[in-house]
Structure 1
Amino acid sequence: MMSLWLGVVLLCALAAVFVLWPLVRHGNRATENTEEQIADRLAENIRLFHEHIAELESQLAAGRIDQVQFDQLKLEQERALLADETDIRALKHNRIVRVGFKTLSVIALAVIVVAWSFYQHLGSSADVEIRQAQERKLALDEADYKAGRTPDPERARELARLIKERLTDNPEQLQYWFFLARMQMEVNDFTSAVEAYQQVLARDQESPMVMAELAQATFLRDGNKMSPLVSDLVARVLSVEPNNTMALGLAGIEAFGKQDYIGAIKAWRRTINLTGENTSGSQALQAGIERATGLYFAAGGTKESLAEALAGRQVIVSVSLGDGVDARPDQVVFVYARAWQGAKMPLAITRVKVSELPKQVLLTESMAMTPEMSLASVDAVEVVARISQNASATAQPGDWQGSFGPVDMKSSSDAVSVKIDQKLTQ
C-alpha cells in the first residue's frame, strides 16, 4: 500500500507543478510590469483627450458646432478621461493573478482530500493489499519449499484476516469466499473452510470443483467420516465430471467403508491414472488399494474373480482370416474397439500375430489409451481387426481389415466374430 500512496502523491505533485508554475511565472511578470503599463496607458489617454479637444475647437471655429455644443462635448471628454484614469489606477491594486494562484492551490488540495476520502470509501485499496499479501505469501512459501522447510501458517492466517475484512464490506465477492476457504483449509480450520465453501456454493451452485472441495472439507471436519451430505456432493460431482480426482478419492473411501473393496480399488486406480503414480497422494492411494485387496482376499475373493471384476466392461472378439487374404505369419494384427458413433480413437486395443489366427481376444477397460476414453465412456462400440503392412497403428492403403458393430456395451456378453476380408484402398 505504501507504494500505491507514494505513487499517488508523486503524480499529484507533478500535476500541481504543470498547473501552478505558469501562474507563478505569469504573476511575477505581471507584478513587474504593472507600474510601467499604467503610466503608458495614462499618457496615451491624455494624448487622445487633447486631440479630441483640438478637433472640437476647430469645429467651433469653423461654425460646425456652437458654444453650447462645444461645452457639452468637452465635458463628456473630461468625464471619460477621469473614468479611464480611475479604472487604470485600480489595476495597481488588482490581485487577480495572485488570488487565482492561491485559489487554485486550495482547490487542488481540496480535490486531493475529497478524492482520497472517496477512494477510502469506494476504492479498491483493500484489494491491492490482499494481492500484495498473496504475492508475498507465494514467494515466501516457494522459498521455504525449495529450502525443505514447512511454510509458516501465519501467512495464510494473515491473508485470511485481510479477506474477512474485505468480505465484511462486500460479502458478494465470490472469488474471495473461495480464496478464504482455501486459506482455512491450509491452516486446518475445516469448520471455517466449510462455511466459506457453502458461501461459494450458494452463489455458484453448479460448480463441480466447489462441490468437490466442500465435500473434502466436510469429510475432514467430521473426523474423516463419510456423511450423507458428502456422499451426495460426490455423486453430483461425478455425474458431471467423472474424472474429478478429489471426488473419486472420496468415492473410494465411501466404497471401502461399505466393504465394497472392488469399488474402492476401481475409484483409487482411476485417480492414480489421472494424477500419475509418482505423487504423494497416489502413493497413499496405492497403500489403500493394497489394503482393500488384502481385505477382499480375506473375505473369500480370489485373484481370478478380482481380475474379472476390475476388468469392468469388456468385449470378447473371435478374430479369423477370410479367404484370399495375402498376409505373412509375422505381420501384426491390431484388434480394437472404438465408439460406434463419434471419435475413431480406440477405446481398447491389443495386438496379435497373423500366425495366431483364428484367436479369441478379450478387450477390457484397462486397455484404454487414455483414462478418459475407455469402454466405460460409451454405450455402443464397433470392433475392428486390421492386419498392418508396417506394424503401424494408423490404417494405410494395402492393410486388410474386418469389423463388426454396433456392440451394446450395457447388455452384450457374448463373443462377437470379426473376419478379416477387406483390403483398404485409401
Structure 2
Amino acid sequence: MMPLWSAMAALSLLAAVFILWPLWRHRKQLQTNSASDSAAARLQENIALFREHMRDLDNALAEGRIDAEQYAQLKLEQERTLLDDEASARAAASQFNLGFGNRSLVFIAVLIIACGFLLYRELGSSADVHIQQLQVEKSRLDYQDLLHNRNPDPARTRAFIQELEERVEQEPDNLQYWFLLARNALEVADYAKAVTAYQRTLALDPGAAIVMAELAQAMFLRDQNQMSPAIAELAQKALQADARNTTALGLAGINAFQQEDFRAAARYWQQAVDIMGPDAPGARALQGGVARAQQEAANQSGGSEPAASGKSISLKVSLAEGVNAAADQLVYVYARAWQGSRMPLAITRIKVVDLPATIILDETMAMSTMASLAQADRVEVVARISEDGSATAKAGDWQVSAGPLEMEALPEVTELVIAEKLTE
C-alpha cells in the first residue's frame, strides 16, 4: 500500500501548490498595492505639511520675526524631517507582510491534504487495491512454487481467504469478491465455504453458466463425490447456458454414468476432451472415462458395437494415396445441417491408424439435445484429420465432405475418402 499512499501524498501536495500559489501571488499583490498606496498617501501628507511650514517660515522672514540665518536653519530641519518621513514610509511598504497571512496559507495547505485523505478513505478504493495486490502477490508466489515442483502453500491461500471474508462483510453485494472467495476456498478443499460463496455469487448473477457449473462441482466434492439430483440439475442448467462448459460436461457425464446411460456419459466426456484438447490437464482422465463408458455401453448391448439410436448415418472413412498424416493424429467425423448452424449434429473421433473404418453417427452423438440428427432433413458429412488435435478446422488439416444427404433417403453406406488439404 506504500506506493499508493506515497502517490496520494504527492498528488495532494501538487493540488495544494496549484491552489495556494495563485492565492499567495494574489495576496502578495494586494499587500504590495495596499502598502504602496499607504506610503504614497503618507508622503503626500508630509509634503503638504512641509509646504505649510515653509509658508510660515517665509512669512516670518518677511515680517522680520526671524533673520536669514534662522530661516536657513529652520528650512534645513524641515527638509530633513520630510526626507526622514519619506524613508520611513518606503521601509514600512517594503516590510508590509503579516505573519498571520503566511500561517493562514500553511493551514489551508494542510487542510486540503487532510480533506483529500479523509475523502479517499470514505469514497476511495484503497481496500480494493489492497485485495488486488494480495491476489497478484499470491499468484506470483504460487507460480514460483510450481516452477520448483512444489505445491502452493495453503497457508497463503487461507490468509487471502481471511482478507476476502473481511472485505465481503463490508461489500456484501460484490460479485467478484464472492466468486474469488469461492475459488480460493475450493483450492484449499474447504468445500462447505466454497458452496456458500458460490451460492451467494449465483444469487447476484443467476444466469452465469460458469458459476452454476463450479457450484455443482463444489457440491459434488463436498458430498464426497456423490451425485445428487440438485447437482445434476445445476450441471444441465449450466450446459443450457453454455454448451461448451467443460466442468458441466464432466459432471453431466458422471451423472449419466451413474444412471447407466453409458453412451451419454461417453458423449459428454468426449465433448469435454474435444473442447479442452487431448493434451490439456485432465483430458487424459476423461479419455479413460470415455473408453470405459464405451466398453460398458458395448457390454450393455451385448456386442462390440452399440446399436444406433434413432436416426443414424453409416460412413466408410478411408485415406487417399499421398495424404501425409501421422498414425496418432485425430480424425473427427461428424454430420451437420446442410444449411444453417455449423455446429455438428453428431460427432465422434478416431485416429489415423484406425483407418479405414466404418462409423455410425446417431442421435446419441449430438453435442446438444437441442441439435441432433432427429431435427435434420438434409445433412453434410465431414471427415477431417486435425493437424493440432483441436476440433476446429485449420489450414494444414486434411478433409473430405459429402452432401447434401437426405435423411429420409440415405444410402446404406456413404464413402468418405480424405484427400483435400485445407489452405485457409
- What TM-score, normalized by structure 1, do the two folds share? 0.65
Which residue number in structure 1 is paired with residue 238 of structure 2? Answer: 237
TM-superposed CA distance for 1:95, in Å, is 7.0
Q: Whole-Å Cα distance in 2 between the matches of residues 161 and 317 of structure 1?
A: 58
Q: Whole-Å Cα distance in 2 between the matches of residues 317 and 290 of structure 1?
A: 21
Equivalent residues in 2 for 1:55-66, closer than 5 Å: none
Equivalent residues in 2 for 1:22-421, closer than 5 Å: 41-48=41-48, 97-296=98-297, 301-305=302-306, 308-309=307-308, 314-316=312-314, 338-343=336-341, 364=361, 376=372, 379-383=375-379, 403-405=404-406, 407=407, 415=411
Does the 8 A contact of 2:335 with 2:361 survive in 1?
Answer: no
Are the structure 2 counterparts of residues 4 and 240 from structure 1 closer, same or farther at C-alpha, using a change threshold of 3 Å? closer
TM-superposed CA distance for 1:10, in Å, is 2.4
The C-alpha deviation readout for 1:51-107, integer Å capped at 9, x for no partner, is 79999xxxxxxxxxxxxxxxxxxxxxxxxxxxxx9xx89x77997643222112112
Return the letter of the residue paired with 1:314: S
Which residue number in structure 2 is paired with residue 7 of structure 1? Answer: 7
What secondary structure, in the 3-state scheme, does the structure 1 residue paired with 2:378 have? strand
Q: Whole-Å Cα distance in 2 between the matches of residues 337 and 33 of structure 1?
A: 92
Are the structure 2 counterparts of residues 132 and 264 from structure 1 closer, same or farther at C-alpha, using a change threshold of 3 Å? same
Q: Whole-Å Cα distance in 1 between the matches of residues 172 and 129 of structure 2?
A: 17
Q: Whole-Å Cα distance in 2 between the matches of residues 176 and 349 of structure 1?
A: 39
Return the letter of the residue paired with 1:364: L
Are the structure 2 counterparts of residues 39 and 414 from structure 1 closer, same or farther at C-alpha, using a change threshold of 3 Å? closer
Are the structure 2 counterparts of residues 215 and 47 from structure 1 closer, same or farther at C-alpha, using a change threshold of 3 Å? same
Are the structure 2 counterparts of residues 11 and 289 from structure 1 closer, same or farther at C-alpha, using a change threshold of 3 Å? same
Q: Whole-Å Cα distance in 1 between the matches of residues 111 and 8 of structure 2?
A: 15
Which residue number in structure 2 is paired with residue 356 of structure 1? Answer: none
Q: Whole-Å Cα distance in 1 between the matches of residues 242 and 27 of structure 2?
A: 74
TM-superposed CA distance for 1:130, in Å, is 0.6
Q: Whole-Å Cα distance in 2 between the matches of residues 113 and 285 of structure 1?
A: 60
Are the structure 2 counterparts of residues 336 and 286 from structure 1 closer, same or farther at C-alpha, using a change threshold of 3 Å? closer
TM-superposed CA distance for 1:221, in Å, is 0.8
TM-superposed CA distance for 1:346, in Å, is 7.9
Pairwise CA RMSD of aligned residues? 4.9
Does the 8 A contact of 2:313 with 2:360 survive in 1?
Answer: yes
Q: Whole-Å Cα distance in 2 between the matches of residues 385 and 260 of structure 1?
A: 26
Which residue number in structure 2 is paired with residue 76 of structure 1? Answer: none
Q: Whole-Å Cα distance in 2 between the matches of residues 220 and 126 of structure 1?
A: 32
Are the structure 2 counterparts of residues 42 and 207 from structure 1 closer, same or farther at C-alpha, using a change threshold of 3 Å? same
Are the structure 2 counterparts of residues 271 and 167 from structure 1 closer, same or farther at C-alpha, using a change threshold of 3 Å? same
Are the structure 2 counterparts of residues 373 and 202 from structure 1 closer, same or farther at C-alpha, using a change threshold of 3 Å? closer
Does the 8 A contact of 1:313 with 1:376 survive in 2?
Answer: no
TM-superposed CA distance for 1:4, in Å, is 0.7
Does the 8 A contact of 2:344 with 2:367 survive in 1?
Answer: no
Q: Whole-Å Cα distance in 1 between the matches of residues 137 and 104 of structure 2?
A: 44
Q: Whole-Å Cα distance in 2 between the matches of residues 373 and 235 of structure 1?
A: 11
TM-superposed CA distance for 1:109, in Å, is 1.4
What secondary structure, in the 3-state scheme, does the structure 2 residue paired with 1:171 have? coil
- What TM-score, normalized by structure 2, do the two folds share? 0.65
TM-superposed CA distance for 1:234, in Å, is 1.3
TM-superposed CA distance for 1:185, in Å, is 0.9
Structure 1 gap ranges (5+):
56-84, 319-329, 351-360, 387-391, 396-400, 419-426
Please, which moves more after superposition, 338-347 or 117-126? 338-347
Return the letter of the residue paired with 1:171: P
What secondary structure, in the 3-state scheme, does the structure 2 residue paired with 1:206 have? coil
Does the 8 A contact of 2:36 with 2:93 survive in 1?
Answer: no
Return the letter of the residue paired with 1:211: M
The C-alpha deviation readout for 1:229-271, integer Å capped at 9, x for no partner, is 1011112122232222111111111122222222222221221
Are the structure 2 counterparts of residues 39 and 247 from structure 1 closer, same or farther at C-alpha, using a change threshold of 3 Å? closer
